[in-house]
Structure 1
Amino acid sequence: MNYGKSEWGPVLDYVKMLHGKSQFQPQGVLPYPWEDIGPGYCYGPAFGHWDAVHIALDLLEDDPAQARYQIDNLISLQQEDGMIPSIIWMREDAPADWAPDQTHPPVWVSAADLIYGKNRDKAWLKTCADALERQVSWFEHSRRAMDGGFYYTDIKNHLWESGVDEGIRFMEVPEGEKSCVDACSHVYLMYDRLLAWQQELYGIRDRTLEEKRDGLGQYIRNVLYDRETGFFYDSWSVDCPKYRHLCLEGFWPVIVGAADPEQAGYIIERHMMNEQEFLSQHPVPTVSLQDSLYEKRMWRGPAWNSMTMWAARGCMRYGRYEEAGRLLEAALDGTSRIYSQTGCIWEFYDSLGGRPEQVQRKPQTGFNMPCRDYLGHNPLHYMAGLWEECRHAKR
């Protein structure tokens, strides 16, 4: 290991070992070598969701071919209508299966961008661009909200298409397919990357697509942002304090670049760097420490290293390298400390620094504790690399 602090070495070596244990040859519906979400995942073996993206990011430096295979597998699963399904259950004694109508956040495009930056394989980028164009069309036809943006089906069925299981945003929601701040941000990301890929491949500028991106960006900035609290919310809560909560999903406009510089700066300074809100001992809590619904339960307060990584990338997008470095260093310090105590990595962590065994997962199930050795939300090598980038950018 030639990056990161020396004290992170043991946990980074451990994660590298887990990657090796979690890799499998092509199987069934997966035509390329694939990586399991992690040997400790309570519902495994499984492939997909944004777990596969985080794994690909973590493999970028040490095993770029394996990183690319994860994206290739995701694209290979795309249905004729353009939908990419969420999570694939890789049964040993039965065919693989998945929810036919449920997708996942399309953040694979961020990993594909970085992979292309390394291999410069235009034929591969074209494959990605074609898949993204179909996925954009599917979102436009299947997830367009009645009030101008896009939604995830969590608002309708609580099956957690957004990836934020049992998130507090959906505990009280009015009826109807209303715009979700994360879904709008993710579609903005798709528009933006498709435009860039088309420019790279064909030297063209799709004016219609550009108008869609810019219009959605304007919607996010003008409709989903509350100036009083300086935060982004879903459309049903932005003007209704009763439904409004400070959740990490409000960071997505910053992460994807849809926020204007003033909005991004305020969110980073007022919220991300606030020790009473999101700069907890192990950042970033999924719900602000000050929110009335904060609790030590899965997506209702604990910290997921993958989400800290996305928040740090948002800071870096707006040139806030010092702030990004603080988030990454604190998360890696906390993960290393817990590894020294428990000998494993965890699905998520107590944002206040306590033992993961004392944090709830889903009390109504038989698995009410974070999973051990969960790779899908621990891109620790990638985070250490980002920390190095931030450290050098500050010089």
Structure 2
Amino acid sequence: MPGAHYHALWTWDTYFTGMALPDDYFDHEVGSLRNLLAHTSEGGRPPSRIDPDGAADYQHAAQPIHAAWSLSILDRSGDTELLRELWPTLVRLRAWWDESTMSRRGLHTWVRGSGTGIDNDPAIYGRSGDTVALVDVNCFHVRELTAMAVLSTRLGIGEPGPWQERADALRAAINTYMWDDQRGTYFHLDLAPHTWQTFQQLTWELPLLTQTWANLFPLWTGVADQRRADRLVTEHVLDPYRFRSRFGLRSTPADQRFYNNVAMANPSNWQGPVWALPTALTAYGLARFGYRSEALSLAKDLRDTFTRDLAATGAVHEYYDADTGTPLAHPHFVSWNLLITRLADDLVASHDPTALC
């Protein structure tokens, strides 16, 4: 991706940037996906990025977004021949995720020694990701399985039913095991192997009570039902002492013990600062569940943050202090922050470019 000090083809950065770009750049979006899929390992592991020299990096796993991305390309191009070409790789990717990350309760864990893109989420930063079921990652998997079902139908390949059944089962598992009705939010789960027990059977899983915007993914992805969405929105998203900042959406609620607005890189800081991606996806999620005016207000605050930055520095930064609006890192950042160019219009038109058609 261009801009700031990033020059590699990062998976989710590229996908969400593609959602923001006009059709003039559609060939670049298609080429980016084909490039990433072409570098999928023989075993089915997706690279997290491809460097300018063409080398693929497998140290981190990519987010599971390739099927949803492929469906978006089919929607925009109608190119069934291309999607038939990509289909075997998409199936291989799904097999890798299932073999490598499927755990108890029908939930997916993450990958050992790998970040998810939310670099310093305390649920996995400094911990073994292959024992943690993350809300955001499992919501991504629901989208992927749903997209596979739609692609199967539209391409006339295989049976769509099993893909959709798996998506529905995973959605139910997220709402059953990750939802905390007392606190009105979703939590990641510790799925470390059980080490011992006597006569009582283990019928529970331990939630990780840390929260970042990852816990809000059921809004954007539609995994939540209306009742759960209402509680997420009213008790968490719109609370100025939690997620809602005057400058956009905090990446971590202000009442978390680890909340901070420190400028850093490797890891980038998702423990408080306002980023464009959490703000935009949460705005789309708000609109999905009937909170359009609140979504528009959130979009306006982010736009104003960018506008002030451009006026003062001539650039847009990667992320901002959630309490002061001060730009913190990487001026001239060009990536998913381009979503701000269409966000308000999308919300007015009840359109989400990332939605699965």
Range of TM-score over shorter length: 0.7 to 0.9
Does the aligned pair in 2 maintain the 1:49–1:105 contact within 8 Å? yes
Question: How big is the shift at 1:334?
Answer: 0.8
CA distance in structure 2 between the partners assigned to 1:45 and 1:108 by the alignment: 21
Question: How big is the shift at 1:150?
Answer: 0.9
1:299 aligns with 270
Q: Secondary structure at the match of 1:290?
A: coil
Corresponding position: 1:122 with 2:84: no
Please list every run of 5 or more consecutive structure 2 residues that lacks an aligned counterpart in the other structure: 192-203, 263-268, 352-357
Q: Secondary structure at the match of 1:222?
A: helix
Cα separation, partners in 2 of 1:384 and 1:109, compared to 1, 3 Å: farther
Root-mean-square deviation (CA, aligned residues, Å) is 2.6
Cα separation, partners in 2 of 1:266 and 1:234, compared to 1, 3 Å: same
Does the aligned pair in 2 maintain the 1:146–1:179 contact within 8 Å? no
CA distance in structure 1 between the partners assigned to 2:57 and 2:26 by the alignment: 29
Question: How big is the shift at 1:276?
Answer: 1.9
Q: Secondary structure at the match of 1:142?
A: helix
Cα separation, partners in 2 of 1:265 and 1:205, compared to 1, 3 Å: farther
The aligned amino acid for 2:20 is D
Q: How does 1:212-223 map to 2 (within 5 A)?
A: 212-223=166-177
Of the candidates 194, 213, 222, which is equivalent to residue 248 of structure 1? Answer: 213
Question: How big is the shift at 1:69?
Answer: 2.0
162-171 or 300-309: which moved more?
A: 162-171
Does the aligned pair in 2 maintain the 1:116–1:125 contact within 8 Å? yes
The aligned amino acid for 1:232 is Y
Please list every run of 5 or more consecutive structure 1 residues that lacks an aligned counterpart in the other structure: 1-36, 358-369
Question: How big is the shift at 1:244?
Answer: 0.6
1:189 aligns with 143
Corresponding position: 1:100 with 2:65: no
1:50 aligns with 12
Cα separation, partners in 2 of 1:109 and 1:343, compared to 1, 3 Å: farther
Per-residue Cα deviation, 1:123-146 (whole angstroms, up to 9, x for no partner): 223334433222111100112234
**TM, length-normalised to structure 1:** 0.76
**TM, length-normalised to structure 2:** 0.84
The aligned amino acid for 1:277 is R
The aligned amino acid for 1:305 is A
CA distance in structure 1 between the partners assigned to 2:306 and 2:66 by the alignment: 25
Corresponding position: 1:324 with 2:295: yes
Question: How big is the shift at 1:190?
Answer: 0.7
Q: How does 1:1-395 map to 2 (within 5 A)?
A: 37-41=1-5, 44-91=6-53, 96-100=54-58, 102-146=60-104, 148-153=106-111, 156-157=112-113, 159-160=114-115, 162-170=116-124, 177-202=131-156, 206-236=160-190, 243-297=208-262, 298-357=269-328, 370-378=329-337, 380=338, 382-393=339-350
Does the aligned pair in 2 maintain the 1:145–1:178 contact within 8 Å? no
Cα separation, partners in 2 of 1:200 and 1:276, compared to 1, 3 Å: same
Q: Secondary structure at the match of 2:9?
A: strand
CA distance in structure 2 between the partners assigned to 1:320 and 1:78 by the alignment: 39
Question: How big is the shift at 1:147?
Answer: 5.2
CA distance in structure 2 between the partners assigned to 1:220 and 1:167 by the alignment: 19
